[in-house]
Chains A and B, each alone.
Chain A
Amino acid sequence: MSWVRGLVFALFFCFCLPVVLSCEDDYSTERQKTVLQMWIMPNSLDPEADMDRILRNFELENPGIKVEVTVLDWSVAWTKITTAATTSNGPDILQMPTTWAASVTQMGALLSLDSLLELAGGDSVFVPSAMRFARPIGSDSVTSFPWFLDVRPLYFRRDVLAQIGVKSTDIVTWNDLKKTLKKIQQAKLVIEGIPVEPIGYPGKHDWNVIHNFAPWIWGAGGDFLDSTATRSTIADSASIAGIMFYLDLVRMGYNNRRNLGKNTSQVSSDFDEGRFAFWFDATNKTIYLDSPRFLGGQAKSVTARNYSCMLPPSSPKGNEPWYFAGGSNLSIFRFTQHKRESKALLRYLTTRADVQLSMSRTTGFLPALNVTYEYPFFKEDEKRQIFQQMAMHSKSYPAVHYWGEIETDILLRRFGNIFDLITASPPDQWPEKAIIAEIQAADREINHYIKRQHGTAFHEN
Chain B
Amino acid sequence: MKIDKYQLRGRSLILVFVLPAFLFLILFFLIPVISGIVISFHVSDKSTLDQFFSAPFAGWNNFRELFLSGGSTFDQLIDAFRNTVIYSICVSVGSIGLGLLGSIIVMQKFKGVSLVRLLLLFSWIVPSYVVGLLWGFMWQQEEGIINTLLFDYLHWDVLSGWFGAHWEYTSIGELIKPNWLTGPNTIWAIIIPTIWRFWPFCMMMFLAGLTAIPKEIYEAAEIDGATKHEQFFRITLPILKPIFALIVLQSLVINVYSFNIVAMMFGNGSGFPGKHGDLLMTYIYRTTFQTWNLGLGAALSTLLMTMMLVTVFFWYRLFWKDVHDN
Contacts and interface: CB of A to CB of B under 8 A. Distances in A.
B72 A261 contact: no
A423 B184 CA distance: 10
A204 B274 contact: yes
B236 interface: no
Looking at A103, A207, A261, A448, the one whose CB has the most chain B CB atoms below 10 A away is A261
A280 interface: no
Contacts of B272: 204, 412-413, 416-417
A321 B97 CA distance: 59
A424 B180 CA distance: 10
B299 to A, nearest CB: 15
A441 interface: yes
A205 B71 contact: no
A207 B275 contact: no
Contact of A78 (B48, B183, B290): B290
A409 interface: yes
Contacts of B72: 410, 441, 444-445
B176 A427 contact: yes
Interface string A426-458: 110000000000000100110010000000111
A150 B49 CA distance: 32
Given A207-B267, A261-B140, A107 B47 contact: yes
Interface in A393-437: 405, 408-410, 412-413, 416-417, 419-420, 423-424, 426-427
Contacts of A448: 69, 71
A460 to B, nearest CB: 12
A343 to B, nearest CB: 24
A423 B179 contact: yes
A108 B270 CA distance: 26
B49 A86 contact: yes
A74 B270 contact: yes
Nearest to B292: A82
A79 B275 contact: no
Interface string A225-264: 0000000000000000000000000000000011011110
Contacts of B270: 74-75, 205-207, 263, 412
A138 to B, nearest CB: 11
A326 interface: no
A172 B72 CA distance: 40
Contacts of A408: 290-291
B290 A427 contact: no
B182 to A, nearest CB: 4
Nearest to B271: A205
Nearest to A87: B50
A261 B141 contact: yes
B170 interface: yes
B230 interface: no
A120 B286 CA distance: 39
Contacts of A410: 72
Interface string B73-93: 000000000000000000000
A106 interface: yes
Interface string B176-209: 1101111110000000000000000000000000
Interface string A154-182: 00000000000000000000000000000
A263 B141 CA distance: 12
Contact of B47 (A258, A260, A417, A459): A459
B274 A106 contact: no
A21 interface: no
A76 interface: yes
Contacts of A441: 72
A82 B293 CA distance: 12
A93 to B, nearest CB: 21
B170 A427 contact: yes
Looking at B168, B268, B271, the one whose CB has the most chain A CB atoms below 10 A away is B271
A366 B176 CA distance: 41
A203 interface: yes
A423 B185 CA distance: 11
A79 B291 contact: no
A17 to B, nearest CB: 49
Interface in B271-318: 271-272, 274-276, 286, 289-292
B182 A423 contact: yes
B275 A420 contact: yes
B152 interface: no
Nearest to A444: B71
Given A260-B182, A261-B141, A262-B140, A205 B266 contact: yes
A97 to B, nearest CB: 13
Nearest to A86: B49
Interface in A175-206: 203-206
A98 to B, nearest CB: 17
A409 B286 contact: yes
A337 to B, nearest CB: 19
Interface in B141-198: 141-142, 168, 170, 176-177, 179-184
Nearest to A457: B47
B44 to A, nearest CB: 11
Nearest to B273: A416
B11 interface: no
B170 A261 contact: no
B183 A424 contact: yes
Task: Report, nearest first, the 3 A-B pairs whose CB atoms are least far apart.
Answer: A424-B183, A205-B267, A205-B271
13 contacts: A107-B50, A206-B270, A207-B267, A258-B141, A261-B140, A261-B181, A263-B270, A409-B286, A416-B272, A420-B182, A441-B72, A444-B72, A448-B71
